[in-house]
Structure 1
């Protein structure tokens, strides 16, 4: 088969090359402490869209730095006692999507919550206010400010905070909560389960936001990663700060959050992925120490992977 990356046997052993900050664990412990100190002020507003077997709500909560975060919440109505839930995360620049695409899990008796990432295509707030460039993307937002101001730090925390909120809903069994998503959503699924380790099952698909230096060295800083190239061209054209930049990006590199995951993992990767190179995905997967299974699609890229949604549903339905 054609190759755009390493041979599969090398991918299975690949450990990533982006530098890991020395204070990585302290960084995220400090971030979680900040998150837990926030009063989320949760609000549920009944949506106009309704179906006979579920109730649909707009859910709002306050995240770090005062941002008001929005998610869509679907609750099944014909269940007895506490039931499982699944938290869904969308792709880069997108939003929580339509109500109807959450009804399959609601029909199985799951509560479903789908978050709008702050500052992207939904209605969640982005307070902004960072020093340095905010041009073109969230990977580089806050890169020239204090490391606590990195945009994806706050987005990762929103994911964990929302999962915790869902676990506290009276109708949800906190021991039966899963997470899922593709691309950015796959990265957020891993980050969520890392920062909220009570997540029991997670189904990430071709996760984004991993092993930034590998993306750069493969000359694939385009499409979703194009802001890396834009940043260097405008702010460090001779790469004087290259080591510093990639080390700072290490704070928001999911491969280094992956060892914190405790839930069981079902992940999918396409070996022809030119958006999120396979090696970057394996860098994260190979660091997961929890029970895990990888579904490999040799001829597919960053696209629909036939049959995986069905496998993910069967996997999550065991909750």
Structure 2
């Protein structure tokens, strides 16, 4: 136990090096201004579903650059007051899943918007990428910050909040963003780029302290970046520069809502030290769940129950 305590204490002391470029703030300001000029053009179509205690809708809204983004929109029946809402993002290579997996939230009176991230599930990707040679999202447009896949993804998340804030049944002051792995990274981005969420839950988030994560991970999407650079070493400096705009080390201080992180000390996909580095930079109210023998998985019963309690207390 003493060894584990010392490991956690070292993580608590870790402060990452900023890689923020001089035009970082201007880049994101201009990006969000560009997004605000683009119509959502949302459609909301009610669906039949076997669980009759909820209303289920298929939502399609225009993401950044007009890519159609698909989502489940689920509401409890027979509620007269405005609803708090959870906005869910899934992991890399995953999808929004079944409506049924969100029932533990619906029975408590929360609305749910569960998004298929761009290029995943039912959501396509209409963006043009001049660099797209590995067949993986993480390297699409990686030589140009204006083209990069994660620019589109982060703004798609902000536009999901735009959708919710346009719904009369949603309490705009009680929106939470929640996700794991890639979804955890998108949760951090949404909380950093938008001040409307009241709460954020980021489990084992990706895109944290990317230079260190590139050194420490053994699996996951960043291995694709390594493979790209192995084939094209002349682009190393440019790739790291592009990634800096999307590294949460350079976005963490913009987070203003209460946030909870979670890490597993045995995680080889999103290692704990990069996540702790970002966590240590957050100035908003925050907490961290640490699982000494946990890997890249937060489906443990105890963790699920802690998440239910955390959201119940603060949202």
Find out whether 1:273 has 2:267 as its counterpart: yes
Q: What SS does the aligned partner of 2:282 have?
A: coil
Gaps of 5+ in 2: none
Distance in 2 (CA, whole Å) between partners of 1:147 and 1:283 is 23
Q: For each residue in 1:229-262, what CA deviation from the matched residue of structure 2 results, as whole angstroms up to 9, or x when unmatched?
A: 11112222xxx44333212101111222221111
Q: What SS does the aligned partner of 1:41 have?
A: coil
Distance in 1 (CA, whole Å) between partners of 2:243 and 2:157 is 19
1:298 corresponds to: 292
Greater RCO (CA < 8 Å, at least 6 residues apart): 1
> Which stretches of structure 1, 4 residues or more, deviate above 4 A after TM superposition?
1-4
1:69 corresponds to: 69
Cα deviation, residue 22, structure 1: 1.9
Cα deviation, residue 50, structure 1: 4.5
Cα deviation, residue 87, structure 1: 0.2
Matched-pair contact (CA < 8 Å) for 2:88–2:112: yes
2:169 corresponds to: 171
Matched-pair contact (CA < 8 Å) for 2:214–2:223: no
Distance in 2 (CA, whole Å) between partners of 1:81 and 1:194 is 29
TM-score normalised according to structure 1 size? 0.92
CA 1:243–1:7 in structure 2 vs 1: closer, same or farther (change >3 Å)?
Answer: farther
1:99 corresponds to: 99
Alignment of 1:129-168 (within 5 A): 129-144=128-143, 146-168=144-166
1:58 corresponds to: 58
1:191 corresponds to: 189
Q: What SS does the aligned partner of 1:44 have?
A: strand
Distance in 1 (CA, whole Å) between partners of 2:153 and 2:141 is 13
Matched-pair contact (CA < 8 Å) for 2:138–2:221: no
Distance in 2 (CA, whole Å) between partners of 1:185 and 1:137 is 16
Distance in 2 (CA, whole Å) between partners of 1:36 and 1:43 is 18
Matched-pair contact (CA < 8 Å) for 2:265–2:291: yes
Distance in 1 (CA, whole Å) between partners of 2:207 and 2:231 is 21
CA 1:234–1:133 in structure 2 vs 1: closer, same or farther (change >3 Å)?
Answer: farther
Distance in 1 (CA, whole Å) between partners of 2:127 and 2:172 is 33
Distance in 2 (CA, whole Å) between partners of 1:315 and 1:278 is 21
Cα deviation, residue 133, structure 1: 2.7
1:214 corresponds to: 212
Distance in 2 (CA, whole Å) between partners of 1:16 and 1:221 is 20
Gaps of 5+ in 1: none
Find out whether 1:224 has 2:218 as its counterpart: no
